[in-house]
């Protein structure tokens, strides 16, 4: 029997029991929709986080303080106050670091920001003018911290977009007064919204001159120099990042007179993206594996219905064999029925997966903006998988039908 002849015959057999066929298809629909939407969600999360890392700055190298070691107990990275403003100045001025394009030290603390009767908790970052370019921050209005502000330890502040909306919902914040730790600061600028990042939300942060943070809001020293929490270094170009890492490490070792273990840690965007990509790839695989359980159940449902169909159509099979149908013809017919059920379920499942991914884009997930990525390769993989599931679970019922003895089949009631 030709495939063109077997296909209409298989379709007539399926439509003869419409409700049973629809219920069988439903299992595949749920399985495919679950797998595709979960994989799309995992890819969307990966893309969102990679975008956040890239949005931290171009060719970025991050220097963090080292870890403390007290009584043989190792602390976390950043727990040691080992970086200072002098270290940042050394990286800028050293002839041993030609690939360093810009340097932006940062202090970070948390405080309540008050404006009139409204208040909010926020990250207070002490920065220099270079910070704006290194971290790719755009102003919505006003100005950023200037070198004059840093020199004069000015009481000025730049607000993140969400902080500005919270404190001044009805007016322009520029020129207004806010209080940070009971000290008055004049708002000189507001940043454009940028969303969440690995290092924290730009929108929920405020920025003051580095010297103001160190001398007026905190006094954390390393020896005779004021410490900083992080030093951001911008490499001259993407091809010189590894060279920049080596140069930064050498300069800091000279500054700190290190002869053995470093008291700082260096990270790059590429390292962060590789780590995040590996973790999210495992996460996506896990989501797909969990969702595929429902697809497995749908496949078992196809096998069950096909076995019932073989039993109900025993006399039909015997009659077809008696008039000359071969084992191959019977096998092909039942495989086509199984594949048709699963392929139809796969197509409907893709549609529901599209609806699910559209719905998930409307669900807020903290500061992250996660848009599931329903790409053509995921859709194609879903359809192929659905058809393969039908063929796999349809082989046994089809083989059982093909092996029937025509005489015994005709005798059955």
Q: What is the pLDDT of residue 366?
A: 52
Which region among 24-33, 282-291, 358-367 has the lowest average model confidence (pLDDT)? 358-367
- Please answer whether residues 409 and 311 qualify as being in contact, where contact means their C-beta atoms are separated by less than 8 angstroms: no
Q: What's the average model confidence in pLDDT over 218-224? A: 49
Report percent pLDDT > 70 for the chain.
Answer: 84
Burial of 18-52, coded b for 16+ CB within 10 Å and e otherwise, reads eeebeebbebbbbbbbbbbbbbbbbbbbbebbbeb
Top pLDDT among 188 and 37 is at 188
Q: What's the average model confidence in pLDDT over 379-391? A: 85
Q: What's the average model confidence in pLDDT over 52-76? A: 63
Q: What's the average model confidence in pLDDT over 97-110? A: 91
Q: What is the pLDDT of residue 75?
A: 43
Q: What is the pLDDT of residue 74?
A: 43
Q: What are the extents of the domains in the chain?
A: 3-53+274-411, 104-235
Top pLDDT among 80 and 97 is at 97
Q: What's the average model confidence in pLDDT over 289-295? A: 79
- Tell me the sheet residues that pair with 185: 178
Question: Is residue 47 pLDDT above 80, yes or no?
Answer: no
Question: Is residue 19 pLDDT above 50, yes or no?
Answer: yes
pTM (two decimals): 0.66
pLDDT tens per residue across span 134-160: 988 999 999 999 999 999 999 999 999
Which region among 89-93, 195-199, 289-293, 301-305 has the lowest average model confidence (pLDDT)? 195-199
Instruction: Give which of 135, 59, 91, 62 is closest to 247, Cα–Cα.
Output: 91
β strands within 166-289, DSSP E: 177-180, 183-191, 205-209, 221-222, 225-226, 230-235, 264-268
Which region among 25-34, 105-114, 140-149, 212-221 has the lowest average model confidence (pLDDT)? 212-221
- Tell me the sheet residues that pair with 206: 124, 159
**368 burial via Cβ count (<10 Å: 0-12, 13-18, 19+):** middle
Q: Which tokens sit at 155?
A: 């009481």
Helix (H) or strand (E) holding 243: helix 241-256
**407 burial via Cβ count (<10 Å: 0-12, 13-18, 19+):** exposed
Which region among 172-186, 188-202, 295-309 has the lowest average model confidence (pLDDT)? 188-202
State whether residue 266 is helix, strand or coil. Answer: strand
Question: Is residue 80 pLDDT above 70, yes or no?
Answer: no
pLDDT tens per residue across span 317-367: 787 777 777 888 788 888 888 888 888 888 998 899 888 888 877 665 555
Helix (H) or strand (E) holding 133: helix 130-134
Q: What's the average model confidence in pLDDT over 45-73? A: 68
Distance of alpha carbon 351 from alpha carbon 74, whole angstroms: 52
Top pLDDT among 286 and 122 is at 122
Q: What is the pLDDT of residue 412?
A: 64
Q: What's the average model confidence in pLDDT over 169-190? A: 92
Question: Is residue 258 pLDDT above 90, yes or no?
Answer: no
Give the C-alpha distances (Å, rounded to integers) separating 332 from 3, 10, 371, 390.
8, 9, 42, 13
Q: What is the pLDDT of residue 55?
A: 63
Top pLDDT among 220 and 8 is at 8
> Sorting pLDDT into bands at 50, 70 and 90, what band is 106?
very high
Distance of alpha carbon 167 from alpha carbon 175, whole angstroms: 13
Contacts of 253 (CB under 8 A, 6+ apart): 262
Q: What's the average model confidence in pLDDT over 61-76? A: 60
């Amino acid at each position: 029997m030709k495939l063109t002849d077997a296909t209409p015959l298989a379709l007539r057999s399926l439509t003869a029991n419409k409700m049973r066929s629809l219920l069988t298809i439903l299992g595949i629909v749920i399985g495919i929709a679950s797998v595709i939407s979960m994989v799309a969600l995992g890819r969307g999360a990966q893309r969102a986080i990679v975008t956040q890392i890239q949005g931290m700055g171009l060719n970025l190298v991050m220097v963090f303080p080292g870890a403390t070691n007290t009584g043989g107990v190792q602390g976390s990275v950043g727990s040691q106050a080992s970086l200072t403003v002098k270290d940042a100045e050394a990286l800028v001025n050293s002839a041993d670091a030609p690939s360093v394009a810009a340097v932006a030290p940062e202090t970070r603390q948390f405080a309540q920001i008050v404006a009139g009767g409204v208040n909010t908790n926020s990250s207070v970052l002490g920065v220099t003018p270079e910070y704006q370019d290194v971290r790719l921050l755009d102003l919505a209005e006003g100005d950023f911290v200037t070198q004059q502000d840093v020199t004069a330890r000015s009481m000025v502040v730049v607000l993140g977009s969400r902080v500005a909306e919270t404190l001044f919902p009805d007016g322009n914040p520029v020129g207004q007064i806010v209080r940070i730790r009971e000290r008055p600061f004049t708002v000189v600028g507001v940043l454009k919204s940028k969303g969440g990042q690995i290092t924290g939300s730009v929108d929920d942060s405020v920025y003051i001159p580095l010297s103001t943070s160190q001398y007026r809001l905190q006094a954390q020293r390393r020896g005779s120099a004021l410490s900083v929490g992080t030093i951001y270094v911008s490499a001259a170009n993407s091809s010189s990042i590894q060279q920049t890492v080596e140069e930064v490490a050498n300069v800091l070792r000279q500054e700190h007179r290190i002869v053995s273990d470093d008291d700082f840690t260096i990270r790059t965007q590429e390292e962060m993206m590789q780590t995040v990509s590996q973790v999210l790839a495992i996460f996506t695989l896990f989501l797909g594996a969990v969702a595929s359980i429902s697809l497995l159940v749908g496949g078992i449902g196809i096998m069950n219905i096909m076995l019932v169909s073989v039993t109900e159509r025993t006399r039909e099979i015997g009659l077809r064999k008696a008039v000359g149908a071969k084992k191959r013809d019977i096998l092909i017919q039942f495989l086509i029925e199984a594949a048709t059920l699963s392929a139809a379920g796969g197509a409907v499942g893709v549609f529901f997966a599209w609806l699910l991914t559209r719905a998930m884009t409307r669900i807020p997930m903290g500061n992250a903006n996660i848009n599931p990525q329903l790409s053509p390769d995921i859709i194609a993989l879903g359809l192929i998988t659905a058809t393969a599931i039908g063929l796999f679970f349809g082989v046994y019922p089809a083989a059982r039908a093909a092996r029937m003895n025509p005489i015994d089949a005709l005798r059955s009631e």
